[in-house]
Amino acid sequence: MINQLPIYACGEIVRGFGRGSKELGIPTANLSREVVKTLPDCLQTGIYYGWGNVDNGDVHKMVVSVGWNPFYSNKEKSVETHMMHNFDCDLYGRILKVCIIGYLRPEKDFVSLDALITTIKSDIETAKALLDSPENQKLQSAEFFKGEIKKC
């Protein structure tokens, strides 16, 4: 399914497991289970990168985890997006749009919380560099991110 990218997803930001900001120090904007169910069945789980915006604001770099988060043994598949921007406000209830353009790695379990955090920080740095390429920058201005704010 990786050759089927980019994939666009949109939905209201909902409360997740409360781990991103508090436990990991890496805040995430989570999409609802309904949005997760709309993703193509053949999209493999893992860590992806791309572009995202909130309420049709500026488009920022992002990384997104699609899957089960083996370290936490989640029972439900989730889509957890880390926007590479400090919003300094509560995003719950706002509309998140993401354009998933590349695959970084499969999801995996970790021996410790520190190992998980180190890997996520490495994923973020790798995504930043990949998104700087001219080819990937083109999607930052995709028509998908423009227009009326509405429930997707």
pLDDT digits (tens, 9 = 90+) for 85-120: 999 888 999 999 999 999 999 999 999 999 999 999
Per-residue pLDDT tens digits for 44-99: 999 999 999 999 999 999 999 999 987 887 788 999 999 999 998 889 999 999 99
Mean pLDDT of 142-146: 92
According to DSSP, residue 139 is labeled: G
Length of the chain: 152
pLDDT(1) > 60: no
Structural domains of the chain in order of their starting residue, each with its CATH number: 2-117+127-140 (2.40.30.30)
Cα–Cα–Cα angle for 26, 22, 25, rounded to 5 degrees:
25
Q: Which residues are catalytically annotated? A: 80
Q: Taking the complete model, does pTM exceed 0.85, yes or no?
A: yes
Q: pLDDT tier at 32 (50, 70, 90 boundaries)?
A: very high
